């Protein structure tokens, strides 16, 4: 694990695998809400599959997540700030070309990054769908923000009545996440149009068959100038462990 200081003084962690300097560019990964670089990408086998294919891999722990600094003020969060963090890291590593993959919250970050960074060669998103086009971010109807924030902050999880919110609360507890930091990010989540038309690089949109946060992935793919989409078995928390998920990323980026 390595650390760096981002644009606003926040200390962020990142991980690297594989050897630098290969013929193909590095792959940069951004994880989803309440997860981490290791939990989202390494444990499910995505990193190993990319390294086995000869790729160098870089994965960031987003602010408020993993081993990165955890603020509790909402104004220190938002996917737009996370995209700026990625830019600082890419600058630090001296990458003049890279492939980018993001999952869920990280998928929003990846789209924001790719819409303004000419260094992105290929793009993969997972865990997001039509809500990106229609709402500018994650599906607020599928996961209401107010209920999510309350569910993260309550001292008594037995009061949580929404099963989807309870799932995120249980996941946060299982991963040892800072629930106050997560609530701050939930308050700051992206809700503005994303310049999808500016993302002209080839893109792949992945979604689980039972992922209620990635409904109608074909709508997101249609909103991108050069994209394809694929649905794999799994829900929002399990599709990343489907071996076909890693295989699809490796094949597309190859």
What are 228's two structure tokens? 């394809």
The predicted model gives 4-17 an average pLDDT of 98
Return the pLDDT at 140.
Answer: 84
Helix axes 79-93, 105-114, angle to 10 degrees: 60
Lowest mean pLDDT among 88-102, 167-181, 194-208: 167-181
Average pLDDT, the chain: 96
Return the pLDDT at 142.
Answer: 84
Return the pLDDT at 143.
Answer: 81
CB 57 within 8 A of CB 170: no
Strands (E), the chain: 2-5, 11-17, 26-30, 57-61, 98-103, 120-126, 203-208, 227-232
Select the more confidently predicted residue: 175 or 57.
Answer: 57
In the structure, what pLDDT confidence band is assigned to residue 21 with cuts at 50, 70 and 90?
A: confident
What are 175's two structure tokens? 């991963």
**Helix, strand and coil in the chain, % to nearest 5:** 40, 20, 40
In the structure, what pLDDT confidence band is assigned to residue 95 with cuts at 50, 70 and 90?
A: very high
The predicted model gives 154-164 an average pLDDT of 93
- In the predicted structure, residue 22 carries a pLDDT above the cut 80: no
Nearest CA to 34 among 146, 148, 136? Answer: 148
What are 158's two structure tokens? 């037995």
| 253 DSSP 8-state letter | H
d(CA 6, CA 92): 10
d(CA 220, CA 249): 17
CA angle 212, 159, 238 (to 5 degrees): 30
d(CA 118, CA 102): 17
Nearest CA to 160 among 123, 171, 66, 81? Answer: 171
Query: In this prediction, what percent of the chain has a pLDDT beyond 70?
Result: 100
Residue written as tokens 């039509």? 130
CB 109 within 8 A of CB 196: no
CB 203 within 8 A of CB 178: no
- 101-139 in b/e burial notation, b at 16+ Cβ within 10 A? bbbbbbbbbbbbbbbebebbbbbbbbbbbbbbbeebbbb
Q: What is the DSSP string of 44-104?
A: TTHHHHHHHTT--EEEEE-TTSTTS-----GGG--HHHHHHHHHHHHHHHT-SSEEEEEET
Return the pLDDT at 209.
Answer: 98
The predicted model gives 20-44 an average pLDDT of 94
Query: In this prediction, what percent of the chain has a pLDDT beyond 90?
Result: 91
CB 133 within 8 A of CB 219: yes
pTM above 0.85, yes or no: yes
């Amino acid at each position: 694990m390595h650390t760096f200081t981002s644009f606003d003084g926040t200390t962020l962690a990142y991980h690297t695998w594989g050897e630098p300097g290969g013929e193909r560019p590095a792959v940069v990964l951004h994880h989803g809400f309440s997860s981490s670089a290791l939990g989202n990408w390494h444990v499910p086998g995505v990193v190993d599959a990319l390294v086995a294919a000869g790729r160098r891999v870089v994965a960031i722990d987003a602010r408020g997540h993993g081993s990165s600094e955890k603020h509790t003020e909402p104004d220190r969060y938002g996917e737009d700030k996370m995209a700026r963090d990625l830019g600082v890291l890419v600058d630090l590593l001296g990458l003049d070309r890279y492939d980018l993959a993001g999952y869920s919250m990280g998928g929003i970050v990846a789209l924001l990054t790719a819409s303004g960074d000419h260094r992105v060669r290929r793009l993969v998103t997972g865990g997001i769908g039509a809500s990106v086009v229609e709402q500018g971010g994650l599906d607020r109807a599928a996961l209401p923000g107010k209920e999510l924030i309350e569910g993260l902050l309550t001292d008594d999880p037995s009061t949580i009545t929404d099963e989807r919110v309870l799932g995120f609360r249980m996941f946060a507890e299982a991963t040892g996440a800072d629930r106050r930091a997560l609530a701050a990010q939930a308050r700051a989540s992206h809700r503005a149009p994303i310049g999808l038309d500016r993302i002209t690089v080839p893109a792949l949109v992945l979604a689980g068959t039972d992922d209620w946060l990635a409904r109608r992935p074909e709508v997101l793919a249609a909103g991108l100038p050069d994209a394809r989409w694929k649905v794999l078995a799994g829900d929002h928390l399990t599709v990343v462990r489907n071996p076909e998920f890693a295989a699809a990323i490796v094949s597309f980026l190859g």
